[in-house]
Structure 1
Amino acid sequence: MNITNSTLDDIPEIFRLYHLATDYQKVAFPGNVWPDFDKDFIPTEVLENRQFKIVIDNKIACIWAITYNDADIWEERENNDAIYIHRIATNPDFRGNNFVQVIADWSKDFGKKENKKFIRMDTCGQNDRLINHYKNCGFNFLGMKKLKDSSELQLHYQNADVCFFEIEL
């Protein structure tokens, strides 16, 4: 298993994994499904070294992105002191490997190198199974609330209940 930045050559596979994740969400978590992501959105993350992948046997097993600020979601808690994990998507061929735990462990080292105090993550909707999974991976569940202004965010945040998770470094 190798964790590295995604490359521009990975973009077709990244979009394929996001589409597969969305299909899975429609079945497993109806009502809380990712939208289609803008075609310029992912290349920007790749070029800014904010898109990551887990590679196993030369196949992309899992992807995720990070941001260094997230005021639209974290509102008054945003203080430029965290790494924010977004859009974890697992290749169906590699499900069951607990990649969230792998990413949580990786993010602790990454966050410390970046001199951050927190690793943060959010998800929309009350999904008790997912909440417990994130808690089992070391995240503290900080609660759920509606955002004050979600107009600049992706469609799945519009009028959604957002769950907040954090690991203190």
Structure 2
Amino acid sequence: MRINNSTKADIKEIFRLYKIATDFQKTRFTVHWPEFELELVENEINEKRQWKLEIDGRIACVWATTFDDPQIWEERNSDPSVYIHRIATNPDFRGQNLVAEIVNWAKDYAANNGKRFIRMDTVGDNTKLIAYYGKCGFEYLGQLKLRNSEGLPAHYDNATVSLFEIRLK
């Protein structure tokens, strides 16, 4: 198992995984990911904020990070944090606790970058996902109605998000 930055050569697979995740979301939830812009992913790759976890040379999952997320985290954005977004898992690797692997990686990544928190959000009140993130070490902080979603992907429009964090020691 290896975690590295995604490259432009990975873009086709990243979008394939996003489509699979979105199609799954559509079968279970009223809110689902929109079709993300190519420019968004290219910028994340160029800024070394798009990641991949590989198993046996295959991409098992992808995600993006940022150190700044003011529209979602509002006044808490000033806390030194790494924010994780858009985890998408290859169906061939489901059930392998990959979010727990991402958490282990994120603890080192956050510490190496002077951050004290690892944070995530999900749109809505998905009780199964809330429980799963709890098993992966996240504290559920509750829900927040977004005040300003301008510039965020479409699924955040007029959304209520569930917030999660891990406080590093």
Aligned residue-pair number: 168
Q: 2-side partners of 1:7 and 1:127: how far apart?
A: 31
Cα deviation for residue 27 of structure 1 reads: 1.1
**Matched residue, 2:16:** 16
Mapped partners of 1:77, 1:23: distance in 2: 32
CA distance in 1: counterparts of 2:51 and 2:79, whole angstroms: 21
Paired with 1:158 and 1:104, the residues of 2 have a C-alpha distance of 27
Structure 2 residue 159 is matched with structure 1 residue 142: no
Deviation at 1:152, TM superposition (A): 2.3
Q: How many Å separate the matches in 2 of 1:166 and 1:93? A: 28
Is the CA contact (8 Å cut-off) linking 1:69 and 1:80 kept in structure 2?
Answer: no
Q: Distance in 2 between matches of 1:110 and 1:42?
A: 20
Indicate the larger mover: 61-70 or 146-155. 146-155
Q: Which 4+ residue blocks in structure 1 deviate beyond 4 angstroms? A: none
Distance 1:89 1:150 in 2: 22
- Alpha-carbon distance in 1 for matches of 2:7, 2:151: 27
Q: Deviations over 1:12-55 (max 9, x none)?
A: 11011101110111113x21200000111101101111011011
In the alignment, structure 1 segments of 5+ residues that lack a partner are none
Distance 1:48 1:144 in 2: 30
**1:149: Cα distance to partner?**
1.2
1:11-50 correspondence to structure 2 within 5 Å: 11-28=11-28, 30-50=29-49
Contact 2:140 2:164 (C-alpha < 8 Å) held by counterparts: yes
In structure 1, how many angstroms separate the alpha carbons of the residues matched to 2:64 and 2:120?
11
What does residue 93 of structure 1 align with? 92
Q: CA separation in 2, counterparts of 1:153 and 1:47? A: 19
CA apart distance, 1:151: 2.4
Superposition pairs of residues 59-70 of structure 1, within 5 angstroms: 59-70=58-69
Question: Is the Cα–Cα contact under 8 Å of residues 140 and 162 in structure 2 kept in the other structure?
Answer: yes
2:49 aligned with 1:55: no
AA of the residue aligned to 1:102: E
Partner SS, residue 115 of structure 1: coil
Which TM-score applies when normalising by structure 1? Answer: 0.97
1:63, distance to aligned residue in structure 2 (A): 0.3
Amino acid in structure 1 at the alignment position of 2:70: A
Structure 1 letter corresponding to 2:86? R
User: Counterparts of 2:160 and 2:40 in 1: how far apart (Å)?
Assistant: 24
Q: Distance in 2 between matches of 1:33 and 1:107?
A: 25
Q: CA deviation at 1:80?
A: 5.3
Contact 1:68 1:80 survives alignment (8 Å): no
Q: What's the TM-score once normalised by structure 2's chain length?
A: 0.97
